[in-house]
Chain A
Amino acid sequence: MATLGKTAGGFPRGLPHACPIGALSEPLGGLSGLLLALKLRSRRQRLLLRAWRKRGQLAAVADRTAGIAPGDILCFLCLRNEARRLPHFLAHHRALGVRHFLVVDNASTDGSGALLADQPDVSLWQTGASYKASRFGMDWLTWLMLRHGHGHWCLTLDADELLIYPYWQTRPLPALTDWLDTQGRVSFGALTVDMYPEGPVSQGQVAPQDDPLTHLAWFDAGNYQVQVQPRMRNLWIQGGARARAFFADTPRRAPTLNKTPLVRWHWRYAYVNSTHALLPPRLNEVYATDGGEITSGVILHTKFLPGITERSAEEKARGEHFADAAQYAAYYDRLTADPILHTPASTRYTGWRQMEALGLMSRGGWI
């Protein structure tokens, strides 16, 4: 359930909305820096309060959180009708070393709930409340993270996202989080890469257990636009296949692709905008500004599986996905028209080393 909805406005004087390449300056100091910090602090507190007030919307279906051991890596997930993706999603992240999944099921009708309730390492909550009113599910997840995530490395994903990182096939997530711990890092950044098939997006067959990447084998390798928003110093990366195919005329509205999915959680933390930005702002520093590279990953986005066209028509009608849904009507219309995203300039996915060579992720100093 990819979300976005960037809103401008309300910036302290002197801070641009976004800094392009070469224009990033040092963090604000002095009085304005202090004011900004206070403002962000109260924003974070408001987000936490909001999550606390929404806690009643969650009804526990299967609460197995008592089985969470100290040091376990947890995965937080909010979904609706993802039964086609869930088996592989769970298998992929289990193999990476996620020990417990905490899932919010937002009124699924395709059996996702039953599927999840049967898993021994899943705790499931259900809600029929509005996804949009819950900040696209983030209020619910913030509450669950506040309750259960404190002190753990927490992975927050959508059901159509598969996290990969350097050496992921040979080193499970605890190896990565141990490394991050020794580096003194508490957050880990990843770029969302839209994967798409060779033909029209509605074609093809992928069974729920199968690796969707055999079908969604293609991606855009080098059209990502990077900026930094100086207020929270979070990245703002757009581009990829969706920007190219659907937002060529309104690039500012193109989906945000940078995420910070893996965080050593503290109950005081809060995601601000999907998982694109967090508070306190230091958690957003998943990039090096000194010219070096630090370790980062890629989220393989499996949105364009067969079924996307019907789903887009439905989402357009529901209007639950964007703050300003009317603006995205054209986007849904184009998706419903079964586009071909593949071009001669597309790249076929072969693995993380390819992603690293292309500069979409980095090993940084991790060997």
Chain B
Amino acid sequence: MLCHAALDRAAQLARHWAQHGCPVVIHVDARTPLDQFAGLKTALADLPDIRFSRRTPCEWGTFGIVQATIDASTQMLADFPQVNRVLLASGSCLPIRPVRALQAHLAANPHTDFIESVTTADVGWTVGGLNEERFTLRFPFAWKRQRRLFDSYVTLQRLLRFRRRLPPGLVPHLGSQWWCLTRATMHAVLTHPDRPRLDRYFRRVWIPDESYFQSLVRQVSSRIESRSLTLSKFDYQGRPHVFYDDHLHLLRQTDAFIARKIWPQADLLYRTFLTPDGDRALAMQPNPGKINRLFAKAVERRVKGRPGLYMQSRFPTRARGGTQSAAPYGVCSGFAELFHDFQPWLARALDARAHGHLFAFDRVEFAGGERVFKGGLSDSPTLRDYNPRCFLTNLIWNTRGETQVFQFGPADEQEIVPFIASDPNATIFAITGAFAVPLWQSGRTAAELRPEAARLQKVESDFLAVLDRPDTKARVRVWSLSEFIENPAEPLEEIVDLLNPRAAHRTTGLPQLKPLHGFGSFLQDLRNQGMAPVLMGDFPSDADLAQPDRTFARPRIVR
């Protein structure tokens, strides 16, 4: 048992092992204060089957840990001839199944060494890019204390293409530091004829505790089961996870016998698993998959986060997802101006929340005219314009699970446009030139409306220019007004297809198009006033206008 801190827990663990008939050799890190070591000795003085091995400093990643393991194992074999298995544990390794169950498991698998041992080529879990190089470079510096020296020496060796020669017969294997070996294997490793040379070699290998025994057993063992009996999980940076009281239920579901690391103050875990009989701690049905899923999810949360969430501990830069909202949504420009009942139709056809002009100057037009929307979003335009990106990402985040669609146009606040254009979750449908329809309906003369029409046309051109940029990630569909009028069913169908693909079986009529008789001459009047209305396309003269077909062009399949 290797210990360096929380020696009171180590004493408790050693006592538990010893009382269940397992002799314990304890190695205490030479850097641990002497009074703590003395305290541990006193605490265990009444137990005959406990020994303390020679204390060496165990710095993380260095050979000291292997040296300590060798010393303690040698002493174990010498002092306790009845021992037929050696298990390496630490002061924070908690047996989570009864010791009897472990003994029974080992008795059922005689001559088997339980040690994770994988060739370097097949290892996927090493962190920091050092894999095979652990064995081919030299590592004289401590990673934790002399990080700069460590890194620059690695770089230097890479630069010089330095490679160490492996001792003959050694095939590097990696694996968990925590193993359980038979007496025969242990003996064979400790009396390996080439040991002095191997030890010399491993002194300059990085993290030899994960490779020394793992490589040597391959030479001496008759039967290896490449898995550790100790459950130990690492985060994505290779730091061990710690188990707390609230993991009790989880630990009961593992198929491992020992778990590490346990938080020293996790009283409940120590109390539960260190009971004399231990039977109560047994799980009914081991379910190790659940633990793996939980840890995989934690890694994903830490590394990828929840896309579209901007909060106090997630604020990605542009390159790392800083232009994305949480879920697909639709932006419709020009539709509400052409149809009488576009919003309700949209909500029905898409099974979505159809908002009005969310970015209108005078007020945020939430669906249903709500004053305060989900999550506490206010309809105050000032509050929205203070941070329009947060307004939109909040809206989409707050309504996860329900598609949002909103109206947009050149009469709205435009600051949000670059964000929408760069958002892969946005789908933008635009009928260009439709802004002129409400102007025409206002009944004022072309002369009065000319400046306003020209301004809106300019704003809409800028909007289209942003959508046209090569870095646009939003899906964009643009029709000119005249194109749209020719066949309105097809674009509407496309909206439904893109935003709610599963709605194919719905039979929905078309929304009612506003009559546009007289609009053609209004455009001509604008032209006569000296403006060039270009975004509407080649709008037909009034005679050619006809109310379109009120069904979808393609027959909808009714399921």
Identify the A interface with B (CB < 8 A).
Answer: 20-26, 167, 170-172, 174-175, 178-179, 182-183, 189-191, 220-228, 235, 237-241, 243-244, 247-252, 258, 286-296, 343-347, 359-367
With A291-B305, A362-B305, A367-B233 known, 14 other A-B pairs at CB within 8 A are A20-B389, A171-B245, A222-B397, A228-B315, A249-B382, A287-B315, A289-B315, A290-B320, A292-B304, A346-B376, A347-B376, A359-B306, A359-B309, A366-B298
Identify which of A24, A248, A295, A366 contacts B317 (C-beta below 8 A).
A24
- What is the CA–CA distance of A238 and B383 in the complex, to the nearest angstrom? 10
The answer on a CB contact under 8 Å between A222 and B376 is yes
- What is the CA–CA distance of A233 and B145 in the complex, to the nearest angstrom? 28
The answer on a CB contact under 8 Å between B303 and A292 is yes
Identify which of B265, B313, B323 contacts A364 (C-beta below 8 A).
B313
* B 368-390 to A, binary, CB cutoff 8 A, 1 in contact else 0: 00111111111010110011011
Identify which of A171, A226, A343 contacts B311 (C-beta below 8 A).
A226
The answer on a CB contact under 8 Å between A364 and B301 is yes
Of residues 314 through 367 on chain B, the ones whose CB sits less than 8 Å from some CB of chain A are 314-318, 320-323
The answer on a CB contact under 8 Å between A288 and B318 is no
**Which residues of the other chain, A, contact B372 by a CB distance below 8 angstroms?**
244, 343-345
The answer on a CB contact under 8 Å between B315 and A172 is no
The answer on a CB contact under 8 Å between B311 and A191 is yes
What 10 A-B pairs come out closest when comparing CB atoms? A222-B375, A220-B376, A365-B302, A296-B313, A251-B386, A22-B322, A248-B380, A222-B398, A225-B387, A170-B246
- What is the CA–CA distance of A361 and B303 in the complex, to the nearest angstrom? 16
The answer on a CB contact under 8 Å between A226 and B294 is no
CB of B261, distance to nearest CB on chain A (Å): 10
- What is the CA–CA distance of A257 and B497 in the complex, to the nearest angstrom? 42
The answer on a CB contact under 8 Å between B294 and A367 is yes
CB of A105, distance to nearest CB on chain B (Å): 30
Identify which of B294, B311, B380, B382 contacts A359 (C-beta below 8 A).
B311
- What is the CA–CA distance of A227 and B263 in the complex, to the nearest angstrom? 36
Identify the B interface with A (CB < 8 A).
Answer: 233, 235-236, 239, 241-242, 244-247, 263, 265, 294-295, 298-299, 301-307, 309-318, 320-323, 370-378, 380, 382-383, 386-387, 389-391, 393-394, 397-398, 419, 422
Contact of A22 with B305 at beta-carbon distance under 8 Å, contacts A182-B239, A235-B312, A362-B314 already known: no
CB of A339, distance to nearest CB on chain B (Å): 13
CB of B247, distance to nearest CB on chain A (Å): 8
Contact of A22 with B318 at beta-carbon distance under 8 Å, contacts A171-B244, A225-B390 already known: yes
CB of A316, distance to nearest CB on chain B (Å): 23
- Residue of A with least CB distance to B315: A287
The answer on a CB contact under 8 Å between A296 and B312 is yes
- Residue of A with least CB distance to B308: A359
**Which residues of the other chain, A, contact B307 by a CB distance below 8 angstroms?**
291
The answer on a CB contact under 8 Å between A21 and B263 is no
Contact of A293 with B305 at beta-carbon distance under 8 Å, contacts A175-B263, A287-B313 already known: yes
The answer on a CB contact under 8 Å between B398 and A21 is no
**Which residues of the other chain, B, contact A223 by a CB distance below 8 angstroms?**
375-378, 394
**Which residues of the other chain, A, contact B373 by a CB distance below 8 angstroms?**
345
- What is the CA–CA distance of A164 and B372 in the complex, to the nearest angstrom? 27
The answer on a CB contact under 8 Å between B322 and A365 is no
- What is the CA–CA distance of A179 and B241 in the complex, to the nearest angstrom? 9
The answer on a CB contact under 8 Å between A292 and B322 is no
The answer on a CB contact under 8 Å between B306 and A249 is no
The answer on a CB contact under 8 Å between A21 and B305 is no
- What is the CA–CA distance of A178 and B235 in the complex, to the nearest angstrom? 15
- Residue of A with least CB distance to B384: A251
- What is the CA–CA distance of A256 and B45 in the complex, to the nearest angstrom? 58
- What is the CA–CA distance of A244 and B374 in the complex, to the nearest angstrom? 13
Contact of A243 with B383 at beta-carbon distance under 8 Å, contacts A292-B301, A293-B306 already known: yes
Contact of A179 with B242 at beta-carbon distance under 8 Å, contacts A20-B390, A292-B305, A365-B298 already known: yes
- What is the CA–CA distance of A284 and B390 in the complex, to the nearest angstrom? 21
**Which residues of the other chain, A, contact B315 by a CB distance below 8 angstroms?**
21, 24, 226, 228, 235, 287-289
Contact of A22 with B419 at beta-carbon distance under 8 Å, contacts A244-B376, A359-B306 already known: yes
- Residue of B with least CB distance to A226: B310
**Which residues of the other chain, A, contact B370 by a CB distance below 8 angstroms?**
345
**Which residues of the other chain, A, contact B247 by a CB distance below 8 angstroms?**
367
- What is the CA–CA distance of A44 and B309 in the complex, to the nearest angstrom? 33
- What is the CA–CA distance of A311 and B306 in the complex, to the nearest angstrom? 40
Identify which of B239, B311, B317 contacts A360 (C-beta below 8 A).
B311
- A and B contact pairs by CB, cutoff 8 A, 5 listed: A22-B318, A171-B263, A174-B265, A175-B263, A362-B305
**Which residues of the other chain, B, contact A293 by a CB distance below 8 angstroms?**
301-302, 305-306, 309, 311, 313-314
The answer on a CB contact under 8 Å between B311 and A367 is no
CB of B374, distance to nearest CB on chain A (Å): 6
**Which residues of the other chain, B, contact A360 by a CB distance below 8 angstroms?**
311-312
